[in-house]
Structure formats: structure tokens, C-alpha cells
Amino acid sequence: MVKNGVKLYYPVKEAIQSILPLVDEFVIALGDCDADDLTEKEIQSIQSDKIKIIRTVWDLEKYPRGMENAHQTDIAKNACTGDWLFYLQADEVVHEKDLPAIKTRCAQLLHDKEVEGLLFDYYHFWGDYNHCHRSHGWYQQEIRIVRNDKEIHSWQSAQSFRRIPNFEGINYRQKKDTTKLKVAMVDAHIYHYGYVRPPRFMQKKTKSLATIHKGEMIVHQMFRSRPAEFDYGPLGRIPLFKGSHPAVMQQRIKEFNWADALNYSSEFTLFREKHKHEKLKNRALSFVENHLRNGRHLFAPRNYILLDR
């Protein structure tokens, strides 16, 4: 699902292209984009018969607190056929080297009905394409493949899924009468580029997401005194990424042109609101996790039940 994707610098086209060779069809819930947004044109430029666009209208009053994200995800999900459904957000991309392992895993578990979904590891990029988080507070894994089951629904703000029998289709944040999905690991990563944008675009995206979760009036007050450009903070404190990026991202990486606006030192800027990974509690937890626990997070919320498969 997506709305104003190109306008907000989402790698929509790259996300679709990354798993297009794997899927039989690709269903997109395309929201009522602004007149100056080119998301539909970008999608159509892929020229694939697999792509099916469902045009939708967002209603933030009916689905507040981020629930419109889940509602839009469900619209696309309900239009899908097939046994397994691969859910990608518009800033998530899959590496081509992982496609064979994903396909094999889906085939291997097809008839194991206890497995309701597949769990992926994550790379969270920050500021540019060379820095990747290992910080506490950034989820390490998430469900991105689920069975085509009508009782499985997108949940909360569409980060994950839950089984919700007899769901009325309104309260995507309900916990009562919901169950976590039983999942198995797949040896593959999701490359998350949600925080890789020119600072001006990043601030617009931050404002847009805040509006979906908090409403226009609150967000208007929140951003009255904020600068026009997002401050990523000192990238010198973020680990360097030493792997390779998906092939579909190479052109976008070549177009990276905002290095002069980034702080590559380890020095904090005074009087700036700290990001979650910069706060003392998370910094302390990150140190323990990365140096004493081989990167495994402490107290991490798990919206799934991991099976030994």
C-alpha cells in the first residue's frame, strides 16, 4: 500500500521490482495521491502484467492512530490469490541473492499448516546507504510472508500481522480476541530504506507519518518550530554497512547527492531533540547487546510465536 510515494522519496518501484521475479502477481493499494505525485506513473513504468493496482481513498477519521496503514494493507491482502502472501512496505527492498532461499522455504513449509508466516531479519539504513543500525529500539525481525488466510489481518499501524477471527474491520489496534501468528525463520533480509532520503524529504515524510498517527491539528503544532530539514545526527556513531545492496537499488544509490547535509562526525549537535537510538537508556542497552549478547536484543517485543522449523 502506498500514497504519495514518489513525492515522499519512497523507493516504490525498486520495492516492487525486487520480488517481482518471485511472485505470481503483485497487488498494490494505491491511495488518493496528490496531483503532483507520480507514484502511479512510476509503477506503470515497470510494465509488468503481474501488477494489479487497486485505487483507494484514505480516511484518517475512520482509521486514526496509524490504523489506515493497516486498513490499506488489508485491502491489498484481500485481493490476493495464492498460498503465501509477501508483504513489502514501500520503503522495503529484497536482495536478489535471497530470492532462492525464500522460494525454497515457502515450498518446504507449504503443507506445514502450523506455520502461519515467515520471519525476516532486517537491515535498517540511516541517513545514507552506508550506515546501518544495530541499536536497541530498532526491530531486528518482522513477519513479511503470511498464509492467504482471511482471519489473518494487518495489525496496529501495519508493521505486523495477527489472527483476528470475526474482525469487524475497524479497530486494527485491538488486542482482545487476537492471537500472535506462529512463524518460522527464513534465511533472508529486508533492506529498510525508510530513513534514507534527502533531509528535506525526510522531514516531509516524518510529518506525513505523524499526521497519519496523530492528526493534522496536533502535527501542525508539533512542526511549527521544527526546521525544514531533518537532522539525522552524528552518523559517525552509526555502524558502517559492509554488505551489498539489491541490484534494483543501484541507480538510486548513484543518485545520492545529500552528503554535504549530513554530519559524518561523532559529535552531537546541541539543542537538538535526540533520536531514540541516541537516548541514554537505548545507548546503554545497545552496548550490552552488541558487546555481550552477540547483537541479540534485550526486552524486545515479539508480535509472533517463533517455531523450531
DSSP 61: T
Phi, psi of 180 (to 5 degrees): -70, 150
**Does residue 213 carry a pLDDT above 80?**
yes
β-strand 141-147 against 181-195: which pairing, if any? unpaired
Give the pLDDT band of residue 78 (cuts 50, 70, 90): very high
Q: What's the confidence (pLDDT) of residue 209?
A: 96
CA 130, distance to chain mean position in Å, is: 18
Quick: pLDDT tens for 275-286.
Answer: 999 888 888 988
- Domains of the chain, by residue range, sit at 1-294
Taking CA atoms, 22 is separated from 25, 95, 142, in Å, by 9, 12, 19
Region for residue 286 given its phi and psi (left: phi exceeds 0; alpha: psi -120 to 50; beta: otherwise): alpha
Q: What's the confidence (pLDDT) of residue 48?
A: 97
Buried-state track 240-269, b at ≥16 Cβ within 10 A, e below 16: ebeeebbebbeebeeeeebeeebbeeeeee
Q: Which H or E run contains 209?
A: helix 199-214
Give pTM, 2 decimals: 0.96
**Does residue 269 carry a pLDDT above 80?**
no
**Does residue 271 carry a pLDDT above 80?**
no
Q: Strand, coil or helix: what is 281?
A: helix
| Mean pLDDT of all residues in 179-207 | 97
What is the 3-class SS of 181-201, one letter each residue?
EEEEEEEEEEEEEEECCCHHH
265-269 — which CB contacts under 8 Å span 24+ positions? 265/234, 265/236, 266/234, 266/236, 266/237, 267/234, 267/236, 268/233, 268/234, 269/231, 269/233, 269/234
The residues, any chain, with a CB within 8 Å of residue 291's CB and separated by 6 or more, are none
The three three-digit cell numbers of residue 57, written as one number? 481513498
* CB count in 10 Å sphere of residue 196: 26
